[in-house]
Structure 1
Amino acid sequence: MAGQKDNYKDTDKTVTEGNAKAGEAENFGGDSRVRIGTKGKWATGYNDVALIGKLEWQVASQGNDTSDGDNDGTFDARYSWIGADFGNGIQSMVGAIASPYAQLTDTTDTYENYSGGVEDQSTGDIWDDGVAVTYAADGWDLRSAVAFSDEEKTNSDLSGDDAKTQTRYGVSAGYTFPINEVSSLKPVLAYQAEEGKTTDGLDYTNSQYAAGLGYTYDAFYLASTYGQAKYDTDTQDTDKDTVWSVVASYKMLPEWTVLVNYGLVDPHNAGTNGDASGSWGEYYVLATQYDITAKAKAFAEYKINQVSGQDDNYIVGLQYTF
């Protein structure tokens, strides 16, 4: 079980709200959220087969944090799945599952809040009504999943305009190369797509592919992901975005870790000038983490937005894992 509370400078206003003008952020405060969950594994007594499961909820405890579909003061399920571990590296899960693309995102998703936000421009990292099969053994990490067709799924992460998401599918493959006792290298390849209908009734397909590489040397970690996101409809030529992220971290002391991150979403043929745009258009992040105990940590992050009209953002938080 884990809990987290964040206080941070709010995101930029796109329209005038109250006394805040477009482009302005709140001076302090903002939204807070708490997550709590549990997972387990139970032997069946039949060969090496075990039952596995995970439940996790999130509540926006203050403000109006809708980043994961939350409503203020209401618990919303994130992960909710059951499955089987067959004891030979193969697992299968059914329910609200992690996208296979998360393996690619995890390459650079190494800190708390602003981490991992740019890499997945497509379907989101949690798929409801999904079935996954994974294999993890001998250095390999292979994942596949499909979220079945459902006319009632809403709010495609790419379009953000009440489009109806129907089917999602994806695969990823990674392999860890041990170099010596303190260093390793892990390349990852991933692909995912979602299909559905726009609010105008057009069929659409949003897809994304990328490659990632993570390098560990003792207390130092360096990683990068690079790929492309595509957006198709029945009547529109493909729009393309190049998506790039680089992160480096260093554990200065047993308790202290410092991190830097750069991210870019670069449209190929969208807009009038092709400049990076949107909340994840181009940015830098400076972050630090302090391990209070083995299960508790404090962190602070500062996001420097490079898109015109966007303010910088910051967050401080505490996390405790039971």
Structure 2
Amino acid sequence: MKKTILAIAIPALFASAANAATIYDKDGTTFDVNGRIEANYFGEHDDVDAELKGESRLGWAGKIALNNTWSGIATAEWQVSSENSGDYKTDDFQARHLYAGFDGSQYGKIIFGQTDTAYFNNLIEKTDIFNEWGSEANAYGGRQEGQIIYMGKWGGFFANASYQTNDDNAELSFGSDGNGDTVKLGSKLDKGYATSLGYDFDFGLGLAAGYAKSDFVKSTTGVKSDKEDWAIAASYAINGFYFAGLYNESQVTRGNDEADYKGYELVASYNVDAWTFLTGYNFAKIDDATIGTNILSGDVADYTYLGVQYAFTSKLKAYTEYKIVGLDKVDDEWTVALQYNF
């Protein structure tokens, strides 16, 4: 399974890490540099004003041996877009991963800082195989800062756990307003917990499950909100084929108000020589609910994905992806891109 996943470069972070250049390696100390540069031509169905955008990533990773078992580790990665691309300022880097910690070999890793939560690792990421889209039918909130994370793996069994401290910049967002825009519920993170566990069999089958809970508080009123997530996932890899499925449910509670979210994701890919073909489907909905003044209901995701990528070398690839949108008032999207990793 790992071989297939690396072949199709998921997630994008690990594509960069796989191409890392070792700058220093001596006496148990290593220092690697990695990154990527990408030119992306975006458009919508029947859109004559498609736009060419650029972005780049730059990161490094260090490791120093403390004894025969434990090592100190640190990782950093930033993203910056070209002048008129995305939401980034031209003179600012946006941090993706920033953490330091310890690698205890068979005892696992413990890290401190910003990265994906335990709910994402080995679970949500199973269906996150596309370059541009995908993984849109779950309520996972993305990378978080202020975390303490443990990751352990023993043979085929793995277990992850994370705790997140207070973060005034992490806002509770949930569902969609029907136009493809996320609904922000105006509360800041008080604390969060997450866990995932599973087993990867030698014959290519992988199973995983996870749970996450986040506590939020509205700074202006002190009203508290809770968000709970759980998911199960399975994957199977054989002879260049990769299949994965994910089912998840989430719930937001604020006083007597409650909103329930349900979604599933199905993906498949086939890798042959330098070519990789990808397809997938994401669907999610929220039952009719009201949180404060926000009315949440209807389909959140209804997307079909098609993609093809070609690897000129292990460092340079071209890809195109098409996103068929089944939601009202939202157009289909497409992209053609060239990506260089180092």
TM-score by length of 2: 0.80
| 1:130 corresponds to | 147
1:62 offset after TM fit, Å? 3.6
Note the 1:194-209 alignment, pairs <5 A: 194-198=214-218, 201=221, 202-209=223-230
Greater strand fraction, Structure 1 or Structure 2: 2
| 1:241 corresponds to | 261
Large movers: runs of 4+ above 6 Å: none
1:200 offset after TM fit, Å? 5.3
| 2:65 corresponds to | 43
Instruction: Report the AA paired with residue 244 of structure 1.
Output: Y
Q: Is the Cα contact below 8 Å between 2:205 and 2:235 reproduced in 1?
A: yes
Do structure 1's residue 156 and structure 2's residue 172 form an aligned pair?
Answer: yes
TM-score by length of 1: 0.84
- Unpaired segments ≥5 residues, structure 1: 13-23
| Distance change (3 Å), C-alpha of 1:111 and 1:40 | farther
Do structure 1's residue 262 and structure 2's residue 295 form an aligned pair?
Answer: no
| 2:244 corresponds to | 223
% identical equivalent positions: 23
| 2:51 corresponds to | 29
Q: Is the Cα contact below 8 Å between 1:6 and 1:318 reproduced in 2?
A: yes
SS at match of 1:163: strand
1:269 offset after TM fit, Å? 2.5
Do structure 1's residue 297 and structure 2's residue 320 form an aligned pair?
Answer: no
Structure 1, 208-217 or 194-203: larger mean CA deviation: 194-203
1:235 offset after TM fit, Å? 3.6
Q: Deviations over 1:174-200 (max 9, x none)?
A: 210122xxxx10011011122112365
Structure 1, 292-301 or 32-41: larger mean CA deviation: 32-41
Do structure 1's residue 250 and structure 2's residue 280 form an aligned pair?
Answer: no
Q: Is the Cα contact below 8 Å between 2:40 and 2:338 reproduced in 1?
A: no
Q: RMSD over aligned Cα, in angstroms?
A: 2.3
Instruction: Report the AA paired with residue 81 of structure 1.
Output: Y
Counterparts of 1:319 and 1:218 in 2: how far apart (Å)? Answer: 26
SS at match of 1:309: coil
Q: Which structure exhibits the higher relative contact order, with contacts defined as CA atoms closer than 8 Å and separated by 6 or more residues?
A: 2
| Distance change (3 Å), C-alpha of 1:48 and 1:196 | same
- Count of residues in correspondence between the two structures: 295
| Distance change (3 Å), C-alpha of 1:199 and 1:302 | farther
| Distance change (3 Å), C-alpha of 1:47 and 1:80 | same
SS at match of 1:206: strand
Residue 92 (structure 1) aligned to one of 104, 110, 117:
110
| Distance change (3 Å), C-alpha of 1:204 and 1:217 | same
Residue 118 (structure 1) aligned to one of 137, 144, 155:
137
SS at match of 2:243: strand
Counterparts of 2:184 and 2:40 in 1: how far apart (Å)? Answer: 25
